[in-house]
Amino acid sequence: MKTITSRAATAFAASAIAFACQSAFAQSSVTLYGVADVSVRYLTNANASNDGKLFMTNGAITNSRIGLKGTEDLGGGLKAIFRLESGVELNSGQYSDSQRAFNRAAYVGLANQYGALTLGRQKTPLFDMLGDTYDPLTVGNYFENAWLPVALGAGLYADNAVKYEGTFAGLSIGAMYSFGTNSTSTGAGGFSGQVPGHLGAGNMYGFTASYAVGPLSIGGGYQQNSDNASNKQKIWNANIVYTVGPAKLYAGYLHSTDDTGFVDSLLAQRNLVSGVDILKGSGRRDDGPFAGVTWQVTPALLLTGAFYYDHMKNAAIGGGETGSGNRYTGVAVAEYALSKRTEVYGTVDFNKVTGAGVVELPGRSNQTGVSLGLRNLF
């Protein structure tokens, strides 16, 4: 195991002990929680020779994580809150991010009836809105299928962030400002922490709003990311969910214009593209509608179907060249609950690319995945 991973494990254990002691002294509520989710997966055309691959990987439903969260009543309806959460790879026992002890959340804040204000590393409002309500797969599942919300949603997490969330009757709003979205390195597309003398370099801001009334929920948001040279990525999103008895119908749209190289870079970091140059200022444009349905067949059986599409322009294809293309993804998931905490599931997914999109698959212009998994919540 890498040294940094051992440090992460030691830091997590020390934090758990420290907060448990603090809980007893301050009469605060502290909870240890997590998700253990792992699956066995087969992929076709998994390399340039179009060989198949059978392997174990993190789960498809809600990736494995472990965390601590807590509250302290300060009186008058005001409370202090905190969360420390890290992704875990069950197949290896390693933390998902070797550079951070808590890659999924590390924040503290205050909350009352008017909402919550938090500071630290956090999910972006766009991630919250898609994952909690509007993406039928709760922000993709396996990396092969998560390209749309991950790349166009700008990485989903931000360091150095100030965030507000509030719900008033059926209206929910969120807003965030990050002083520097990635403190551990220069980051994808040149994003990093604060740059002296350049307050707008590497920063991010975004806001979302959604409204639920009866069976209908609608929502939308905007997010802008700046790299260290103050190039911009701008993302727009709109969504709708309608409940019909035991079923939910989903539709949404993501649009991104990117001068930072972030989209190409993030896809490459996740091994979803290869052999391309990261082109800043290319004006890459992605238009991505998506749709889906979930059906609670019985209290134990949930079926999900989802479709994602991306029409890309000015996408990097290698050799300093750009082009246009398309990507199509279809996913089917069946989940069966063995108890309130444990379920088994199966997934089938298919990806197809054309034009500039061919760099996003390692072999032929299509790929099929089949998986079986087991998940436990604690």
Instruction: Tell me the pLDDT of the chain averaged across its residues.
Output: 86
For residue 269, what pLDDT is reported?
58
Lowest-confidence segment of 91-95, 141-145, 305-309 by average pLDDT = 141-145
H-helix or E-strand spanning residue 17:
helix 3-26
- Would you call 306 helix, strand, or coil by DSSP? strand
Report how far residue 232's alpha carbon sits from residue 191's, in angstroms, rounded to the nearest whole number.
Answer: 11
The band of 147, judged by pLDDT with boundaries at 50, 70 and 90, is confident
Residue 207 has pLDDT above 80, yes or no: yes
pLDDT digits 0-9 by tens, 124-139: 999 999 989 999 998 7
Q: Is the Cβ–Cβ distance between 127 and 148 less than 8 Å?
A: no
For residue 282, what pLDDT is reported?
73
Report how far residue 334's alpha carbon sits from residue 347's, in angstroms, rounded to the nearest whole number.
Answer: 7
**Token reading at 69:** 């969260």
Report how far residue 199's alpha carbon sits from residue 224's, in angstroms, rounded to the nearest whole number.
Answer: 15
Burial of 333-352, coded b for 16+ CB within 10 Å and e otherwise, reads: bebebeeeeebebebebbbb
For residue 268, what pLDDT is reported?
66
Is the CATH number of domain 3-377 2.40.160.10?
yes
Q: Is the Cβ–Cβ distance between 147 and 184 less than 8 Å?
A: no
Domain boundaries, the chain: 3-377
- Would you call 362 helix, strand, or coil by DSSP? coil
Q: Is the Cβ–Cβ distance between 105 and 119 less than 8 Å?
A: no
Q: Provide the residue count of the chain.
A: 378
Q: Is the Cβ–Cβ distance between 78 and 114 less than 8 Å?
A: no
Q: Return all residues near 257 (Cβ < 8 A) that are at least 6 apart.
A: 232, 233, 234, 283, 284, 285
Which residue(s) pair with 210 in the sheet?
Answer: 172, 219
356 backbone dihedrals φ, ψ, rounded to 5°: -65, -20
pLDDT digits 0-9 by tens, 4-16: 444 555 555 555 5
Q: Return all residues near 148 (Cβ < 8 A) that are at least 6 apart.
A: 140, 254, 288, 290, 308, 310, 329
pLDDT digits 0-9 by tens, 102-126: 999 999 999 999 999 999 999 999 9
Report how far residue 141's alpha carbon sits from residue 126's, in angstroms, rounded to the nearest whole number.
Answer: 17
Enter the pTM of the model. Answer: 0.86
